[in-house]
Structure 1
């Protein structure tokens, strides 16, 4: 009787596992991003990582010796970047061409890439090592920045866990920067628009053109 009961229990578990819904890839990524954001907020709220606004960034960099670490992908940085800043991307283009990844790329292009111009990316597994090569002194002051502030939150968690203790986070990212916040900018575009690409980029150019015409009239 005990053996039969055990068999029934094992069979029930097997069927439960068969029909138990699995987390989708997007859901797993979302949970991972949420975990990073939660950890970053804790670091910032506790004061372990300093929140620095774009308008105060240059002053603090000059007076306190912070080095700006740009963690945006290459295609964003090429549009506009702060002169003298370090660059180590947290995300890189995903070059995997397996059938599943190709399907993801097509979905990404249809829903996101065409409109925003963003490539399908994957985490830079060498991020911490590359930062360590560029800045071997883990007592160095690093102001970590991206376009919108979310990716840099993920980066500060990685860096803090890697032993860096004098970290700053550019609150809101370059998107929140004014034209005069970072006077030494290189590239053809503006820092606050560097994350914009694809079809939305042309809408932005049209809006800027109409705004300029309106200001002249």
Structure 2
């Protein structure tokens, strides 16, 4: 044992210098430690919309990781689009069942596509950017951009920022955008986009019915009597 020398490997949830395969929290030979590769990772920087605008002015490239449907509705001008999730068009029995259920609920009410993780996400980003590139990742709600940031961070990217709460928290006019709607509304589709109009129509009908019954009770009673019995 004499002359071998030992070093301690410390464990922490945010300790990017940990040696892969080490007995975390224990001790291991220094020779073995020197033979292992040490991974250095940078912290992901979360910023608000105004801070993100400054980063773009400083040379950060905007990487939009939303699905194609949201991207087409509205996106920041001159951004790069590499979706973290892609539409799932698989035709195995299980996927068909799940897609049918999704399309009849989330798809119908919120206009969300049935998706799956993009297996080529990291490789696609690497084909456009080098690990030392300055990237501002955006999505609609902030979750996908955070997940994408950590994926890229684990593969060597060290200058990554994300907009906290995503584009849904961005005020109109903050960024130069392209599309048929505002950036904060790009995640809205399906019946949810017209629920306000439906509620307004139903409310108006109910109010009119109430007023008619209140001020013209005799006519209302005759109409009810003429209604076919169920």
Using structure 1 for the length normalisation, give the TM-score.
Answer: 0.70
Q: What are the ranges of 5 or more consecutive residues in structure 1 without an aligned counterpart? A: 1-38, 210-217
Quote the residue 1:156 is aligned against.
Answer: 149
**Correspondences of 1:135-150 after superposition (within 5 Å):** 135=129, 137-150=130-143
Verify the 8 A CA contact 2:42 2:159 in the aligned structure 1: no
Greater C-alpha Rg = 2
Task: Determine the C-alpha separation between the residues in 2 that align with 1:177 and 1:191.
Answer: 7
Quote the residue 1:55 is aligned against.
Answer: 50
Task: Determine the C-alpha separation between the residues in 1 that align with 2:194 and 2:61.
Answer: 33
Q: What's the CA shift string for 1:109-131, capped at 9, x where partnerless?
A: 23311110001100000000000
Task: Determine the C-alpha separation between the residues in 2 that align with 1:162 and 1:153.
Answer: 15
Whose helix fraction is larger, Structure 1's or Structure 2's?
Answer: 1
Q: What are the ranges of 5 or more consecutive residues in structure 2 without an aligned counterpart? A: 1-12, 17-40, 201-230
Structure with the larger RCO, 1 or 2 (CA within 8 Å, 6+ apart)? 1
Quote the residue 1:200 is aligned against.
Answer: 192
Task: Determine the C-alpha separation between the residues in 2 that align with 1:42 and 1:85.
Answer: 32
Verify the 8 A CA contact 1:74 1:89 in the aligned structure 2: yes
Quote the residue 1:187 is aligned against.
Answer: 179
**Secondary structure at 2:125's aligned position in 1?**
helix
Runs of 4+ in 1 over 2 A off after TM superposition: none
Task: For residue 42 of structure 1, report the CA deviation from its aligned partner.
Answer: 9.6
Task: Determine the C-alpha separation between the residues in 1 that align with 2:61 and 2:150.
Answer: 17
Task: Determine the C-alpha separation between the residues in 2 that align with 1:66 and 1:200.
Answer: 34
Using structure 2 for the length normalisation, give the TM-score.
Answer: 0.66
Verify the 8 A CA contact 1:55 1:178 in the aligned structure 2: no
Verify the 8 A CA contact 1:49 1:167 in the aligned structure 2: yes
CA RMSD of aligned residues (A): 2.4
- What is the aligned counterpart of 2:78 among 48, 60, 84? 84
Give the number of aligned pairs: 164
Task: Determine the C-alpha separation between the residues in 2 that align with 1:175 and 1:131.
Answer: 24
- What is the aligned counterpart of 1:170 among 163, 173, 183? 163
